Amino acid sequence: MTDKILKELKSKKNVEQAKILSRFFKTGKGQYGEGDIFWGIRVPVLREISKKFKEASLKDIQELLNSKVHEHRMTGMFLLIERYKKAENKKEIFDFYLKNTKNINNWDLVDLTAPNIIGFYLLENKRERKILYSLVKSKNLWERRIAIISTFTLLRNKEYEDTLKISEILLKDEHDLIHKAVGWMLRELGKRDKSVEIKFLNKYYKTMPRTMLRYSIEKFDLKEKQKYMKKEA
């Protein structure tokens, strides 16, 4: 089935869009997406293709994930989500995801998939959440992002503890993409229980990275934003 999927993807290639995406996802030398190849296919199209081929096997998915083409890997991840939804053995899909973190190597690949597989699995299997605390200590940027973004599913179900703990661990992370991810999750936490977010901010806002802080208070009113953007004691 892999050949059919690749043929379908090839028919959707857009050279001009590929140039735009290559710049947007920082594929230049020394940038976080260095070497990633884009075909210029938009996410809604990839989702439709994955639904068309939702019976793809794990072998097919692995072949897609091994590709250097970004849209091949994204399609593979969307297919994996489809398999997860109907899988009787969800741990098999969970483990498969974790074995492929080296291929889940850009922020959109993480953000559009981690909550739907890692997050949902850990929602139902609380004892296995220790994996988040291994991922968050990884030297791999994307594994650290998987750790925090996976907690989005927990937040949606009013479970805040892991988001708070992982955010605390990542306060001193040096990468801007982690600052943005943590700030985003704190903002989402605030939508559900602002008092919990405020308690966290009151403890850490003076020392947390500015990007992280800005993202976390994006929905606050102007007076509240001004308060938190002041770092003096």
- Does 73 reside within a domain? yes
**195 and 125 housed in the same domain:** yes
**147 and 186 housed in the same domain:** yes
**218 and 114 housed in the same domain:** yes
pLDDT score, position 232: 42
Half-sphere exposure of residue 26, counting CA atoms within 13 Å on the CB side? 10
Domain count for the chain:
2
Query: Would you give the DSSP letter of residue 117?
Result: I
Structure tokens at 117: 């597989």
Structure tokens at 121: 């699995």
Average pLDDT across the chain, whole number:
95
Structure tokens at 100: 């492929």
Residue type at 166 in one-letter notation: I
Closest of 104, 101, 161, 95 to residue 128, by C-alpha? 95
Q: Where are the beta strands (DSSP E) in the chain?
A: none
- Does 19 reside within a domain? yes
Q: How many C-beta neighbours within 10 Å does residue 15 have?
A: 9
pLDDT score, position 233: 37
What is the residue range of 223's domain?
A: 106-233
- Does 77 reside within a domain? yes
- Does 114 reside within a domain? yes
- Does 92 reside within a domain? no
At residue 231, does pLDDT exceed 70?
Answer: no
Q: At what angle do helices 161-169 and 176-192 cross, to 10 degrees?
A: 150
Spatial CB neighbours of 5, under 8 Å, sequence gap ≥ 6: 49, 53, 56, 60, 64, 75
In this prediction, residues 7-16 reach a mean pLDDT of 96
Q: Which residues of 163-183 are buried (b: 16+ CB within 10 A; e: fewer)?
A: bbebbebbeebeeebbbbbbb
At residue 17, does pLDDT exceed 70?
Answer: yes
**112 and 176 housed in the same domain:** yes
**71 and 153 housed in the same domain:** no
**81 and 110 housed in the same domain:** no
- Does 141 reside within a domain? yes
| Structural contact between residues 178 and 141, judged by C-beta atoms closer than 8 angstroms | yes
**118 and 64 housed in the same domain:** no
**68 and 120 housed in the same domain:** no
- Does 204 reside within a domain? yes
pLDDT score, position 30: 87
**165 and 228 housed in the same domain:** yes
**80 and 115 housed in the same domain:** no
What CATH number is given to the structural domain containing 137?
1.25.10.90
**209 and 139 housed in the same domain:** yes
Q: How many helices (H) and strands (E) does the chain have?
A: 16, 0
- Does 94 reside within a domain? no
Spatial CB neighbours of 207, under 8 Å, sequence gap ≥ 6: 171
Residue with tokens 């208070």: 217
**77 and 121 housed in the same domain:** no
Q: What is the pLDDT of residues 156-202, one digit of tens each?
A: 999 999 999 999 999 999 999 999 999 999 999 999 999 999 999 99
Q: Give dist(CA 64, CA 79) in Å, integer.
A: 10
